[in-house]
């Protein structure tokens, strides 16, 4: 299992962090994992969930008709 940082997620997804946070809040993006207990603790995302999310986007592209 590998965790990705905010910067790594941004590089893979090509969305701003603000946009991914909005999608996450709407339940349309993988949820972050809090790595500590405080309000300013580090967070990360499971690499496998990010890759699954990206695969879903590719699948959707393949099924859309122009």
Segments of the chain with pLDDT less than 50: none
pLDDT score, position 61? 84
The bridge status of strand 3-4 relative to strand 33-34 is unpaired
pLDDT value, residue 55: 95
**CA-CA distance, 22 to 38, in Å (whole number)?**
22
pLDDT of residue 65: 63
Distance between CA atoms of residues 1 and 48, nearest Å = 8
How many CB atoms within 10 Å of residue 42?
13
Q: How far apart are CA 48 and CA 40, in angstroms?
A: 24
Q: Which domain holds residue 54?
A: 3-63
What pLDDT sits at residue 66? 63
**What does the pLDDT read at residue 32?**
96
- Residue with token string 């699948």: 59
Q: Based on the structure, what is the number of domains in the chain?
A: 1
**Residue 56, pLDDT score:** 93
């Amino acid at each position: 299992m590998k965790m990705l940082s905010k910067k790594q997620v941004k590089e893979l997804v090509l969305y701003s962090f603000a946009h991914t946070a909005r999608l996450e809040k709407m339940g349309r993006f993988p949820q972050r994992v809090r790595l500590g207990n405080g309000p300013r603790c580090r967070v990360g995302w499971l690499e496998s969930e990010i890759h699954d999310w990206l695969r879903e986007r590719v699948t959707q592209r393949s099924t859309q008709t122009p």
